[in-house]
A = this chain, B = another copy of it.
Amino acid sequence: MSRTLNNQETVDADLADRVRAAAAELGYRRNGLARSLRLQRADVWALIISDIANPFFTAIARGVEDVAQREGFSVVLCNTDEDPAKEAQYLEVAEQEQVSGVILSPNEIGSDISQLTRLGVPVVAVDRPLRERVDSVLVRSAAGAQEATEHLIDAGWRRPACITGPETAQTAIQRLTGYRRALVARKKRPAASLVRHADYRADRAATATAELMDGRNPPDSFFVANSEMALGVLQELRRRGLRVGEDVGLVAFDNAPWTAFTDRPLSVVAQPAYEMGVLAGELLIERVGVPLDQQPAPRVRRLPTELIVRGSSLRP
């Protein structure tokens, strides 16, 4: 039976046909659980991301999924909502369900994947690095942030603020670093009063914008670390009757589909999200089923960003 269905070794063609016919007749479906239990592996990958509503991560998910589909794996998509507890829970689920690989965008650099690696389950970090040495697909966030901020200054804005992600997220840290480097490169003094951490969420970014604008020496422009937060900034600026690309400048990370159609069109730092997903999937493929002693050394891929200048960052 098993031999027939898996087309293994030499099975008499006639018998094989009869078996298949009988299986079809009885509506036989093989039990994936039993199969996985026996094989000690499931043809499933876990993809653990921090925000399913963020187009950046859904683009990654599509990339991963395309590779998985091609290679015969199913993808279990888990959404951690930037919550370390949820992340830990899903990592445990992945372990219990014996997935053959995990692609993770960790909440923080110290996320604990030791259980998985001990069991030989390959892990690929995507978007954000891990302290443990694993395959990683990262973006040159600092360089992208620096380019964006320098562009703001070169466009004539005097006091760019930075609204970045949570202090625990490496991407948030790197984008802040890039912002600071740009100020230094353009002979400006980085001021802590112009920096806010806003958890990558729109509403937190709106609050941060309000705080900055109500400050003693408000900024005249914003570098924002993702597109969700850009929405929050836009909302707060509109509430104050300020026009982007007119009264204030704005550049944000992520080339979300809608950014070209806002009033003004948003200047963005585009990340190759889909390609990151594909790359992560391909790195994983090279590890699943490979004996531990033949595994390649951990590889790190850093992809460049691309600054796309539209109206929001320009002065009238």
Residues of B within 8 A of A111 (CB): none
CA A261 to CA B244, docked complex, whole Å: 11
From 254 to 278 in chain A, residues with beta carbon under 8 angstroms from any chain B beta carbon are 256-265
Check: A98 CB closer than 8 A to any chain B CB.
yes
Residues of B within 8 A of A258 (CB): 231, 256, 258-259, 261-262
Check: A20 CB closer than 8 A to any chain B CB.
no
Check: A240 CB closer than 8 A to any chain B CB.
no
Check: A294 CB closer than 8 A to any chain B CB.
no
A93 engages B257 (CB within 8 Å): no
The residue in chain B whose Cβ has the minimal distance to the Cβ of A42 is B33
Chain A at the B interface: SS class: helix
CA A34 to CA B34, docked complex, whole Å: 8
From 68 to 124 in chain A, residues with beta carbon under 8 angstroms from any chain B beta carbon are 69, 74-79, 86, 90, 92-93, 95-98, 115
CA A231 to CA B140, docked complex, whole Å: 29
A234 engages B261 (CB within 8 Å): yes
B98 engages A31 (CB within 8 Å): yes
Contact of A96 among B27, B29, B76, B92 (CB under 8 A): B29
CA A119 to CA B187, docked complex, whole Å: 70
Nearest CB of chain B from residue A63's CB, rounded to whole Å:
12
Of A29, A77, A115, chain B has the most CB atoms within 10 Å of the CB of A77
CA A80 to CA B75, docked complex, whole Å: 12
Nearest CB of chain B from residue A218's CB, rounded to whole Å:
21
Residues of B within 8 A of A75 (CB): 78
Contact with B along A23-36 (1 / 0, CB 8 A): 00001011111101
Residues of B within 8 A of A42 (CB): 33
B53 engages A59 (CB within 8 Å): yes
Nearest CB of chain B from residue A249's CB, rounded to whole Å:
16
Of A33, A79, A90, A93, chain B has the most CB atoms within 10 Å of the CB of A33
Check: A58 CB closer than 8 A to any chain B CB.
yes
Nearest CB of chain B from residue A219's CB, rounded to whole Å:
20
Nearest CB of chain B from residue A47's CB, rounded to whole Å:
9
Check: A199 CB closer than 8 A to any chain B CB.
no
A95 engages B231 (CB within 8 Å): no
Residues of B within 8 A of A69 (CB): 86
The residue in chain B whose Cβ has the minimal distance to the Cβ of A90 is B74
Nearest CB of chain B from residue A190's CB, rounded to whole Å:
29
> Which A residues have a C-beta under 8 Å from some C-beta of B?
27, 29-34, 36-37, 42, 52-53, 55, 58-59, 61-62, 65, 69, 74-79, 86, 90, 92-93, 95-98, 115, 202, 228, 231, 234-235, 238, 256-265
8 contacts between A and B (CB under 8 A): A29-B95, A30-B96, A33-B33, A62-B79, A69-B86, A77-B78, A202-B257, A262-B262
